[in-house]
Chain A
Amino acid sequence: MPVLDPDTSAARRAWSIPDTNPIVSRRRFLQASAIGGGSLALTPLLGHLEAFAAPPLKSSDAILVVVMLTGGNDSLNMVVPIGDGHYYDRRPRIALQPNQTLKIDNSVGLHPKLVTTKKRYDMGRVALIRGVGYNPPDFSHFSSMGYWMQGWGGSAQSYPTGWLGRYVDGLPNAATESLYSVTLGTNGVPLHLVGAQSRAAALPLSISDRFGINRSNADDMRLFDGLAALGASGSSGAGPLGDMIARTNTQVMRLTNRIAPAYPANPNNNWFVRQMELVGRLVNRNLGIRVFNVELDGFDTHTDQLTNQAQLMASLDAGIDRLFAVLEPAWTDNVMALTFSEFGRRPEDNDGGGTDHGTAATMMAIGPRVKGGLYGQQPGLADSQLVDYGNLKATVDYRSVYATVMQKWLRADDRQVLGKTYSQLGFVASTP
């Protein structure tokens, strides 16, 4: 795995990206080559044609909801290896006893707060993919998150793009359709949604009092039109960042009309549940969104993990349940949720009742078309099986999960998106 320089590479520090400069340059490059080549159609100028729309989905289209568990989720206490004595030896302070967990079998139990997830598991709608990571591991939040977001196995990229951004790049008119992918609850657009040409939209979690929503006043409307006009000419005259600012304003003004009807009058108080509820409502409106990113933060449980993680697991469970409750029957089968985190945590607990940064972890894929069950191999916890200062050895490359999602769920060219072929896992039962 190549080491990325933290200060020159967006992949690193910037889980939440960046600087769209490279994207702008890329577009300019495409324009220049189109013009220079003469035979290619002109690429639209810097987004001034972006309408914040995407073609509506057909009933056969798949939707992916990516759930970021930020901070490094301790998946050993989420999907607990209750049959392994080493687990109890290494965690005198925070181990979950078998009878505390929601037992799947004699070797695995779910965190006690994952009540509805367990029900879904029992219905065969939850895949637990164990031992997912990469080797050798990187223990930095920022580096490791960068790798997960980039999800690239090809030769070095001159500037980083994300796995889902590259997926959207492959959709029709990706450079101009800004509503193929959206992120909720994050500031800026996270790297996994940044493509070479495509850029996700960041949506607010509530908009009742937001600028531009009420269009009943003519004086206000002239203001909104004036704002949209600032970015409509393609070039602001204030450099690439100025272009970006102006264009964002234009997009905000166009976006308001489209998304406003999806927002609930009384959003849920739980931040994560609110995101998932909004995902469901946006899907129901069929705005053409194929990829959603949501975030649940706070997993960096160096101390007092039992309390903190229990709250997070309760939110996660409630959010997933809310998503599928909100989805209208016509769309339920089109949605799959996929959790990920930058790493799991150290098997050994520490003196503060917490755990330090670790490595491989369990991912969850959830949805009516998921083929439920256990996937991958749980890395061993015996001394002889631990690597890199007492950590789990990954048994499944995270890009195998992505490759499966691409090929079996989104029906995209996984090799194109990931830069390399990875083995397929069997957790997708069927496509819509």
Chain B
Amino acid sequence: MAAVGDVAHLLRRAGFGATLPEVQVLAANSLDDIVAGLVDPVIAPDDPRPDFFDSPDVGDWEYEYRLQQWWLDRMATHPKPLQEKMTLFWHGHFCSQNEKVGDMKLMWDQHTLFRHSGMGDFRQLVHDMSLQPAMLLYLDGAYNTAGDANENFARELMELFTLGVGNYTQADIIASARAWTGYNVDDNDRTQFHYYNARHDHGQKTFMGVTQDWNGPDIIDYFLATNATKKAVAAKYIVRKLWTFFAYPDPPQANVDALAQVFLDNDLEIAPVLTALFLHPDFYSDTAKLGLVRTPAEFVAATLKFTGLTADDASPQWFMDDMGQNLFEPPNVAGWKNNGYWLGTSSMWRRADWAAYVAWRIYSHNQQAGATNVVQDAAMSILQGSAPSRYADAVDFILTMFGVFTPSDNTRRQLVAAATRQWNSHGWDERTWWNLVVLVMLSPEYNLS
């Protein structure tokens, strides 16, 4: 038996949130079993590319928003939410921006790689993403040729993707950039990787003190396999980032060291690290439970899940850029940040805009013939009852509906006050639950992950 609060926390982090029945059913199992179920090594077969990519006469911008919708729906409904969460993690780690790549079909290929390999062999993932056109075009490997090496990819490969700043020199970057010359896209078809031997710099290069005729993939194998010291640096770098993504920022070094050891013991397999992370006692500390703000993608996916709205209906893709997270358009190669990054006044403002839109969409559905007016019927029957606790009961109903099982006293008190005021205002009765939906979506609890 696992604690309900722990299971709810785990499902917010390893997925996008869970309903009370989902939490209660899972909580009958041990935490070990629940985590094992989440970190399922069996990868779902790759999805076929969504049909809309085959529509003729559709511009790339339409592919982009439709894939955003497709992915958000999938986050909300897919039975393997951790796979989607890891896809999101890698999208913010091995960043490509479609604004520069300019071809969503290439972004789809990268997206599929993250989904398929995101819990597998890290070294292989680095190799694979390096040679995909989405990365070659984004970090200019496509234009990296002997004689005038382009350093963009070589730098970020070490600074952001694997080792972290301070663990290489500018001379290493120059040597690596030369090693990656010739790893381009096809001159006649930029959607295909092509190695041009004649454009590769075959000269001697000194990388991390070793002089030889390095090529690109050798560079990855060197610091992620051959050189044990650098491999350990990379292990710490990646597990620190995973901890920050799943638990809270600035983890104690002991936590990083423990997970890094698991990563190294498994030759950089990712799944065992996730298991260790989700079973780490500190993952269930108050620091962790209150330690992350829901990102816009998480906020949207959770809302789609709890309301049953589809992305096509709720149109989050038109709001998310201003919330700060436009999928397939990370702000730069370092990806998105966390916590305070999402809490600018202008980005919270946009969450509020969308919350009001969601409430309106729920209300609109309630007006459709034959619709099951779940939210409205339940809320109104509570509010129209005679129980002295009817306002608090309505608040609890909406909170529970949105997966907030343990609101703070302050939040609950303020929501009850708002519901009481609205109901007794002789205003529009339905606005009582409508306003509660918006307020719950903007509450501190709902905006924490």
Q: Among B250, B293, B435, which residue has its beta carbon within 8 angstroms of that of A8?
A: B250
Does B280 make an interface contact (CB < 8 A)?
no
Q: Chain A contacts of B345 at CB under 8 A? A: 201-203, 248, 251-252, 255
Interface segment, one of A125-133, A234-242, A322-330: A234-242
How many positions in chain B have a CB within 8 Å of any CB in the partner chain? 78
Structural contact, A230 and B427, CB atoms closer than 8 A: no
Task: Write out the residue numbers on chain A whose beta carbons fall within 8 Å of the beta carbon of B421.
Answer: 222, 225-226
Q: Chain B residues with Cβ under 8 A from A203's Cβ?
A: 345-346
Question: A238, B241: Cβ atoms under 8 Å?
Answer: no
Instruction: Flag if A211 contacts B352 (CB, 8 Å).
Output: yes
Q: Is the CB of B332 within 8 A of A14?
A: no
Q: Contacts of A348 on B, CB cut-off 8 Å?
A: 148
Instruction: From the candidates A186, A188, A238, name the one contacting B408 in the complex (CB within 8 A).
Output: A238
B444–A352 CB distance below 8 A = no
Q: Is A310 an interface residue (CB 8 A)?
A: no
Contact, CB under 8 Å: B439 / A230: yes
Cα of A292 to Cα of B159 in the assembled complex, Å? 31
B343 touches A188 (CB 8 A): yes
- Which partner residue on chain B sits nearest A136 by CB separation? B170
Q: Is B338 engaged at the interface, CB distance under 8 Å to the other chain?
A: yes
Which B residues are in CB contact (< 8 Å) with A236?
Answer: 408, 410-411, 444
Interchain CB contact (< 8 A) of B341 among A6, A18, A183, A240 = A18
B408 close to A237 (CB less than 8 A): yes
- Cβ contact within 8 Å between B350 and A241: no
Q: Mark A181-225, 1 if CB is under 8 A from B, else 0.
A: 001001111000000000001111101011110000011001101
Cβ-defined contact, B346 with A218, below 8 A: no
Q: How far is the CA of A426 from the CA of B254 in the complex (A)?
A: 51
Among residues of B, the one whose C-beta sits closest to the C-beta of A228 is B414
Closest to A390 in B: B174
Report A338-353 residues with CB < 8 Å from chain B CB: 348-352
Query: Is the pair A352, B143 in contact by a Cβ cutoff of 8 Å?
Result: yes
In the bound complex, residues from chain A placing their C-beta under 8 Å from that of B438 are 223, 227
Q: Which one, A229, A244, A351, contacts B150 given CB within 8 A? A: A351
Using CB atoms, name the residue of chain B closest to A189: B344
A237 contacts B409, CB within 8 Å?
Answer: yes
Instruction: Choose one: B152, B340, B408, B445; the contact of A244 (CB below 8 Å).
Output: B340
Report yes or no: B166 in contact with A187, Cβ–Cβ below 8 A. Answer: no
A375 to B443, CA, bound (A): 52
Residues A211 and B444 in contact, CB atoms below 8 Å apart: no
Which residue in chain B gives the minimum CB-CB distance to A348? B148
Cα distance A285–B350 in the bound complex, in angstroms:
24
Residues A188 and B341 in contact in the complex (CB < 8 Å), given A212-B352, A252-B352, A351-B143: yes
Q: Is A7 an interface residue (CB 8 A)?
A: yes
Nearest opposing residue in chain A for B352, CB measure: A211
B244 within 8 A of A: yes
CB distance from B116 to the nearest CB of A (A): 27
Known A-B contacts A202-B345, A238-B408, A238-B448; A303 and B353 likewise in contact (beta carbons under 8 Å): no
Whether B418 lies near A209 (C-beta < 8 A) is no
- Report yes or no: B340 in contact with A18, Cβ–Cβ below 8 A: yes
User: A302, B140: Cβ atoms under 8 Å?
Assistant: yes
Q: B340 and A204: CB pair below 8 A? A: no
> Is A249 in contact with B352, judged by CB distance below 8 angstroms?
yes
| Given A188-B324, A188-B347, A248-B345, A237-B411 contact (CB < 8 Å) | yes
Q: Which of A25-33, A137-145, A147-155, A312-320 contacts B (4 or more CB under 8 A)?
A: A137-145
Give, as a whole number of angstroms, the nearest-CB distance from A20 to chain B.
4
Contact B347 A202 (CB under 8 A): yes
Separation of A209 and B350 alpha carbons in the complex (Å): 10
B258-298 contact mask (Cβ, 8 Å, vs A): 1 or 0: 00000000000000000000000000001000111100000
Q: Are B140 and A230 in contact (CB under 8 A)?
A: no
- Chain B stretch 99-153: residues in CB contact (< 8 A) with chain A: 139-140, 143-145, 147-152
Within 8 A of B (CB), among A1-52: 3, 5-8, 12-14, 16-21
- Residue of A7, A229, A244 contacting most chain B CB atoms (<10 Å): A7
Pairwise interchain contact B332-A19, C-beta atoms closer than 8 A:
no
Q: Are B337 and A18 in contact (CB under 8 A)?
A: yes
Q: Are A238's CB and B143's CB within 8 A?
A: no
Name the CB-closest residue of A to B293. Answer: A241
CB closest residue in chain B, given A207: B349
Q: Does B334 contact A (CB under 8 A)?
A: yes
Does A356 sit at the interface, judged by CB under 8 A?
A: yes
| Residue A388, interface by CB 8 Å | yes
B218 within 8 A of A: no
Q: What chain B residues lie within 8 Å of A211 (beta carbons)?
A: 349, 352-353, 355-356
Q: Any chain B CB within 8 A of the CB of A374? A: no
Contacting A at CB under 8 A, from B396-425, are: 408-411, 414-415, 417-418, 421-422, 425
Q: Does A246 contact B (CB under 8 A)?
A: yes
Cβ-based interface call for B13 (8 A): no
Q: Is B322 an interface residue (CB 8 A)?
A: yes
B residues in contact with A109, CB < 8 Å: none
Give the docked Cα–Cα distance between A11 and B349 (Å).
26
Q: How far, in angstroms, from A303 to B149 measured CA to CA in the complex?
A: 11
A262 to chain B minimum Cβ distance, whole angstroms, is: 14
Q: Does A424 belong to the interface (CB within 8 Å)?
A: no
- In the complex formed, the residue of B with least CB distance to A212 is B352
Taking a contact as CB atoms under 8 Å apart, the answer to whether B444 and A245 are in contact is: yes
CA distance A270 to B250 in the complex (A): 38
Chain A nearest CB from B234 CB (Å) reads 13
Which one of A21, A141, A203, A245 has the highest number of Cβ atoms from chain B below 10 Å of its Cβ?
A: A245
Q: Is A141's CB under 8 angstroms from B332's CB?
A: yes
Known contacts A12-B165, A203-B345, A354-B140; is-contact A239 B290 (Cβ 8 Å): yes
Contacting residue for B439 out of A227, A233, A252, A302, CB 8 A: A227
Contacting pair A222 B435 (CB below 8 A):
yes
| A-side contacts of B290, CB under 8 Å | 238-242
A238 contacts B445, C-beta separation under 8 Å: yes
- Do A356 and B151 have beta carbons less than 8 Å apart? yes
Given contact pairs A140-B155, A219-B431, A226-B414, A248 touches B337 in the complex (Cβ within 8 A): no
Q: Could you name 26 residue pairs across A and B whose Cβ atoms are closer than 8 Å?
A: A13-B337, A18-B337, A141-B332, A187-B324, A204-B346, A210-B353, A219-B428, A219-B431, A222-B418, A223-B439, A226-B415, A229-B418, A236-B410, A236-B411, A236-B444, A237-B409, A237-B411, A238-B411, A241-B293, A243-B444, A302-B139, A303-B150, A351-B149, A351-B150, A352-B144, A389-B174
User: Can you name 13 extra interface pairs (CB under 8 A) apart from A141-B332, A230-B415?
Assistant: A18-B341, A188-B347, A212-B349, A222-B418, A226-B415, A227-B438, A230-B411, A237-B410, A243-B444, A246-B444, A350-B143, A388-B170, A389-B174
CB-CB nearest 4 A-B residue pairs: A237-B408, A202-B344, A239-B290, A226-B418
B-side residues, CB < 8 A to A, are 139-140, 143-145, 147-152, 155, 159, 164-166, 170-171, 173-174, 237, 240-241, 244, 249-250, 286, 290-293, 322, 324, 331-334, 337-350, 352-353, 355-356, 408-411, 414-415, 417-418, 421-422, 425, 427-428, 431, 435, 438-439, 442-445, 447-448
